[in-house]
Amino acid sequence: MPATHHINSEAKLIITTWEGKATDSDFIEALNKYLNDIRSNPEYIDYNEIVNLSKATPIKLTIGGLLTIGRIAFETEKKFTHKKMALIIESDFALSLANLYIFYKNIGYRSRKKICVFKKELEAYKWAKSIT
């Protein structure tokens, strides 16, 4: 599995690092595993998330894959309080995909999760750890 997870209990962060290929099926499989193995743990209900995609290569996502990922994530969000997710990306292509994902998540309904895209890890960590 190309996604690895680290729990930082002091900062109340779930940090996911993605390395290697990233396709629709890879992301969907990893998201479902993450939701079942980590996010469903009540101990982490108040934790924000950082997803570092800077080492994901190649990224081969389709619009259909993004829509599926968004639906899965939205259904799960209903169970959680308002949280934040920082996406760390490097390429312009990944930036475009991240913005499409955010756009989709905010269409037609109010997303409970604030999502922000960063190119620098330090900025992502600072934002994800902040209270507001």
Share of the chain above pLDDT 70, in %: 88
Domain-wise residue ranges, the chain: 3-127
**First-to-last C-alpha distance (Å) of the chain:** 33
| Cut 0.85: pTM above it | yes
Supply the mean pLDDT for the chain: 86
Instruction: Tell me the per-residue pLDDT of 87-105, one tens digit each, with 9 for 90 and over.
Output: 999 888 788 888 887 777 6
Residue type, 97: L
Task: For residues 26 and 60, give the distance between their C-alpha atoms in angstroms, rounded to a whole number.
Answer: 10
Going by pLDDT thresholds of 50, 70 and 90, the confidence category of residue 78 is low
Q: What is the CATH number of domain 3-127?
A: 3.30.750.24
Task: For residues 85 and 125, give the distance between their C-alpha atoms in angstroms, rounded to a whole number.
Answer: 10
In this prediction, residues 24-51 reach a mean pLDDT of 92
Going by pLDDT thresholds of 50, 70 and 90, the confidence category of residue 80 is low
**Best CA proximity match to 121, nearest among 84, 83, 85, 86:** 86
22 within 8 A of 56, measured Cβ to Cβ? yes
Going by pLDDT thresholds of 50, 70 and 90, the confidence category of residue 70 is confident
pLDDT of residue 107: 66
Written as six digits, the tokens of 92 are 């312009």
Task: For residues 111 and 18, give the distance between their C-alpha atoms in angstroms, rounded to a whole number.
Answer: 24
Does residue 31 register a pLDDT over 90? yes
